[in-house]
Amino acid sequence: MMNFQKLLKLKTDKLLLLSLIILLTSCSKEEKQKSYLAKVNDSYLTREELASLVDTSDLDASEKNALIKDWIYNEILFQKALEDGITDEDEFNNIVQSSYKKLAIALLIKKIYDETNVEFKTSDLMNYYEKNKNYFVHPYETYLINHARFKDEVTAIKFRDVAIESDWEKATGFFKNNNSLLFSETGNLKEMNEIYPVEVAEAVKYLLPDEISIVIRDKQMTYNVVQLKQKFSAFEILPFEIIKKDVEKRFIDEQKSKQFENFLKDLYSKSEIVIKERY
């Protein structure tokens, strides 16, 4: 029987084909000529098409320029492939046909996955956790941290003062609409190599449980405050309360996978299937 998670991975190379289709058909040449980011001969890249390829909301100018340059190189090569008749060759058409079918399958699986509803209670999650504790063991030291990042040092100092005098949650609520706040997370479980920037990672190593760091300036000239809530040793089984969201995600994924397997069995039973003897 097919593995549901493996089937979801089919979408990677098929979405490349989908992106190509979008680039070729999403809007007319006349519409693109009115507003575009780049062009190669008669092919245009619009803001909408760039946004369809990648989430540009968190990209700076240099990263966007790199994406545009990649599009230009790809478009140059694609146009050369057209010129050389690559798209008329049997090999190309066979790959397209195969990708076309796999893309349809991947999108069907995604549709089924998105539309499948899993109902559960906290007790269901706890029972699942008790039976599958080994799934929730980290092979490295793990840190439960709170982390806030600011544009200026003065605001970071004020945030730290409030967090020490009251608590982290109250400080976060007080500063959540402050223009200086760049980033804030509460109760995130991370391995050391997942903590960024490195200056914050270094500070976390030496904090005691519930201790709040001094204001830490990083290489990007932003200012960080971090609190270590709890540290877990390598291969330690993590408490349910801390990893409840991870347990919930895994539980839901497994339930959806089981429902998909039943869906596939039902399709199989309703289809006329003949397997001829091969030997």
Q: Is the pTM of this model over 0.75?
A: no
Confidence grade of residue 173 (pLDDT, cut at 50, 70, 90): very high
SS3 of residue 141 by DSSP: coil
Percent above pLDDT 90 for the chain: 66
Distance CA 50, CA 57 (A): 11
**Tell me: the pLDDT tens digits for 34-84?**
578 888 888 888 888 888 777 777 778 888 888 888 888 888 998 999 999
Is residue 217 within 8 A of residue 223, CB to CB? The reply is yes
Distance CA 191, CA 254 (A): 25
SS3 of residue 45 by DSSP: strand
Distance CA 47, CA 38 (A): 9
